[in-house]
Amino acid sequence: DQQVKQNSPSLSVQEGRISILNCDYTNSMFDYFLWYKKYPAEGPTFLISISSIKDKNEDGRFTVFLNKSAKHLSLHIVPSQPGDSAVYFCAASEGGGGADGLTFGKGTHLIIQP
Amino acid sequence: SQTIHQWPATLVQPVGSPLSLECTVEGTSNPNLYWYRQAAGRGLQLLFYSVGIGQISSEVPQNLSASRPQDRQFILSSKKLLLSDSGFYLCAWTTLWNTGELFFGEGSRLTVL
């Protein structure tokens, strides 16, 4: 049973436009959500996070939106750049980050086209 | 600053052979340590986590085992590899005062033939 779902395996966006990556979750106990970026043959790197007490968090070109009632979050990248091409993982945790780690989605491969 | 290293980076092993992947963290003490696996089309799957020396929790029944002989050392092992063990293995760490963010190592690509 997958508790964090990223239903789009891949997404292609033109350079300069907005990239929107979506994530849904089923566990209502999740209260902290993160996005990670991963290049091939490298470990994931933390991008941005949001606590369940907020509905938006912004960091430069990256904004994460959380809709708790819909159990949905999204990552917006504006404007998209070639270096943004990577796999993006949505992750969630209970209790503000318990010892048992994060639950990840399957990832979305973002391709930025010139 | 804190760093995490894992090795080897790439490994090609025959079916039935043993496995040992090692991970060490520097610049912090008493970290929580994790082993994840990224298999094709399956995202990042938590395999093991440890909150202290000798304390190992397994998330998925499998052919693998983990050990934590020292505070900042985490080892992933297998006595006999299966084809299905192929994947990209990631070590990660965090501390109690983090807000849930995990810091990942560079990863180890295992191919079982």
pLDDT tens digit sequence for B19-30: 999 999 999 888
- Is the pLDDT score of A96 beyond 60? no
- Chain B interface, best mutation among A104, A108, A109, by max B CB count within 10 A: A104
Range of weakest confidence among A33-47, A55-69, A74-88 = A33-47
Query: Which pLDDT does position A41 carry in this prediction?
Result: 85
Instruction: Catalogue the E-assigned strands of A8-55.
Output: 10-14, 19-25, 30-38, 45-51
What is the distance in angstroms between the Cα of B67 and the nearest Cα belonging to chain A? 16
CA distance A75 to A78: 10
Residue A9 pLDDT > 90: yes
Half-sphere exposure of B44 (CA within 13 A, CB side): 33
**Residue contact B51–A99, C-beta within 8 A:** yes
Contacting residues of A for B99, CB less than 8 Å apart = 32, 49, 51, 96-97
What is residue A94's predicted lDDT score, i.e. its pLDDT? Answer: 84
| CB contact B49 to A (< 8 Å) | yes
Q: Which residues of chain B have pLDDT under 70?
A: 61, 96-99
DSSP string, chain B: --EEEEE-SEEEE-TT--EEEEEEEES-SS-EEEEEEE-TTS-EEEEEEEEETTEEEESS-SS-EEEEEETTEEEEEESS--GGG-EEEEEEEE-TTSSS--EE---EEEEE-
Specify whether the CB–CB gap between A24 and A105 falls below 8 A: no
Arithmetic mean of pLDDT, A89-110: 84
Determine the pLDDT at residue B36: 94
Bridge partners, A76 (sequence order): A20, A63
> Stretch A73-96: mean pLDDT, rounded?
93
Residue A97's pLDDT is what? 55
Interface of A with B (CB under 8 A): 6, 9, 32, 34, 36, 41-46, 49, 51, 89, 91, 93, 96-107
